[in-house]
């Protein structure tokens, strides 16, 4: 970041700051003036600034003082359509956004104040649109620091095809609407996320690769807390390009009703060199979920707009997960929902799962020093026989069969760990315990070639590969 040379209060350009009048024109004039003069700070202080779409420019700091709030306009007509788009198929209702930047560099959103998305105001009558809070396209040297980002109407942030991004000390609370993501990075490199709190209704932090031209790499996530009804950290699903060199360390996950950390190579790219360490989870339905498959469903949410054919299965491997503690309490005997109609998790669906299609194994996984206390209590009569659990299918070979994937089936074969088609797998120093007796096998290792397992105990007793 360049040293700011000027400080502008948008009141100089006519901002009313009453929380009702649209101050976007005044704020935008201040941003433009700073950029035109080589850089500066637009300082919001002393009240509520209401605005529609704002466009950030190079060498500008937008600083929201602790005495100020930047509030998203409740009128969808105040949001530009010229702000790129959401890259998930069939989710164009969240194409609009509040704060946007394109091909900009050396800029920042900072301060101790609040940026509020006004979630409950959307969608407006007659409109399907709910604006994201922040979207950055092909930007570099971006700082997002210390702000409180509350109540986005859709995702909180989307960093796209950008590099050198610092997110520090940010408090994100996005639990009023579906698509309540926190920090999303698609096609981004050299990313540093630290000391953040993220709560939402979808992925708290997400790494995606929509293009082979923009691989995701050199990502650092540390000292964060994640909470929400869906996933804590998601790597992949959108995985046309490669994702590699990712570290996640010293983080806590609290009350995550679906997956703590999920890794999905589904669109032909390679996901590799992932290191996770010093993680503590409480009341997380599936502490780890990892899958390698291929997917192209144009009528289903969750596939990339950029993907126009069924891809060959990609690669997934070199995953090291160490020093993970996951603990359930009696809360986890319940079925948990997202809002009123979307089941997220229940005991029969819980556990650690790695899975891949036959002939396309996940290659190179170490799970070490893991302590997992699972609520348990599942009876054999509560679920179908384990033999009925479907395989992960290669859709190029078997396009019509029902394939095991993330959201189906809605039950697990094993109480703690179901590991299928993982080669060069090492299990070391693992302690597994149930609060209530569970009638399923504790650990399954199907098709796991090159397995080394040592020092594993289940409810105080030694476990070995031959014991189910």
The domain segmentation of the chain, as residue ranges, is 203-462
C-alpha 17 chain-centroid distance: 34
- The pTM of this model reads 0.96
Cα–Cα distance for residue pair 19/72, rounded to 1 Å = 10
Q: Are 234 and 262 in contact (CB under 8 A)?
A: yes
Cα–Cα distance for residue pair 314/381, rounded to 1 Å = 37
Backbone φ and ψ of 102, nearest 5°: -140, 125
Q: Are 101 and 65 in contact (CB under 8 A)?
A: no
Going by their DSSP bridges, the two strands 197-200 and 225-228 should be labelled as parallel
> What residue has token string 């409810």?
459
**Count of beta carbons in the 10 Å neighbourhood of residue 16:** 15
Q: Are 148 and 171 in contact (CB under 8 A)?
A: yes
- Give the residue from 263, 256, 144, 276 showing the smallest Cα distance to 202: 256
| Model pLDDT for residues 65-84, shown as the tens digit of each residue | 999 999 999 999 999 999 99
> What residue has token string 């070639």?
449
Cα–Cα distance for residue pair 41/108, rounded to 1 Å = 9
What pLDDT was estimated at residue 183? 98
| Model pLDDT for residues 395-404, shown as the tens digit of each residue | 999 998 899 9
- Give the residue from 27, 19, 26, 29 showing the smallest Cα distance to 74: 19
Q: Which residues of the chain have pLDDT under 50?
A: 1, 468
C-alpha 123 chain-centroid distance: 23
Q: How many CA atoms lie within 13 A of 203 on its CB side?
A: 19
Concatenated DSSP letters for 307-322?
A: --SPPPP-EEEEEEEE
Going by their DSSP bridges, the two strands 362-376 and 422-436 should be labelled as parallel
What pLDDT was estimated at residue 150? 98
């Amino acid at each position: 970041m360049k040293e700011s040379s000027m400080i502008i209060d948008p009141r100089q350009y006519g901002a009313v700051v009453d929380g009702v009048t649209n101050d976007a024109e005044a704020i935008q004039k201040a941003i433009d003036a700073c950029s035109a003069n080589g850089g500066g700070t637009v300082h919001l202080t002393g009240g509520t600034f209401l605005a529609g779409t704002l466009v950030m420019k190079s060498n500008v700091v937008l600083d929201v003082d602790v005495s100020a709030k930047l509030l998203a306009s409740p009128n969808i007509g105040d949001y530009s359509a010229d702000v790129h788009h959401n890259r998930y198929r069939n989710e164009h209702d969240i194409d609009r956004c509040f704060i946007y930047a394109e091909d900009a560099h050396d800029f920042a959103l900072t301060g101790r104040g609040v940026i509020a998305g006004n979630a409950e105001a959307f969608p407006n009558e007659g409109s399907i649109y709910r604006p994201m809070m922040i979207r950055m396209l092909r930007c570099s040297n971006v700082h997002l620091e210390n702000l409180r980002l509350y109540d986005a109407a859709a995702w909180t942030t989307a960093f796209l095809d950008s590099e050198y991004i610092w997110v520090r000390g940010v408090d994100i609370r996005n639990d009023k609407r579906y698509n309540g993501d926190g920090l999303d990075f698609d096609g981004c490199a050299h990313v540093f996320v630290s000391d953040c709190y993220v709560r939402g209704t979808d992925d708290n932090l997400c790494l995606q690769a929509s293009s082979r031209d923009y691989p995701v790499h050199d990502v650092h996530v540390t000292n964060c807390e994640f909470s929400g009804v869906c996933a804590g950290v998601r790597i992949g699903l959108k995985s046309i390009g490669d994702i590699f060199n990712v570290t996640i360390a010293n983080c806590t996950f609290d009350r995550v009703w679906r997956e703590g950390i999920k890794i999905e190579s589904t669109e032909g790219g390679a996901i590799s060199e992932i290191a996770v360490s010093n993680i503590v989870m409480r009341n997380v339905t599936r502490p780890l979920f990892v899958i390698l498959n291929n997917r192209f469903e144009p009528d289903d949410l969750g596939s990339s707009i950029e993907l126009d054919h069924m891809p060959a299965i990609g690669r997934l491997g070199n995953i090291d997960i160490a020093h993970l503690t996951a603990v359930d309490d009696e809360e986890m005997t319940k079925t948990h929902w997202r809002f009123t109609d979307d089941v997220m998790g229940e005991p029969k669906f819980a556990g650690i799962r790695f899975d891949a299609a036959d002939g396309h194994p996940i290659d190179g996984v170490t799970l070490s020093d893991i302590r997992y206390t699972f609520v348990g209590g599942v009876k054999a009569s509560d679920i179908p026989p384990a033999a009925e659990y479907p395989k992960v299918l290669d859709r190029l070979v078997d396009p019509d069969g029902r394939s095991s994937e993330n959201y189906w089936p809605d039950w697990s074969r094993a109480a703690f760990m179901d590991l299928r088609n993982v080669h060069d797998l090492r299990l070391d120093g693992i302690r597994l315990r149930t609060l209530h007796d569970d009638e399923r096998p504790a650990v399954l290792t199907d098709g796991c070639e090159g397995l080394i397992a040592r020092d594993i105990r289940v409810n105080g007793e030694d476990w070995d590969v031959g014991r189910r």
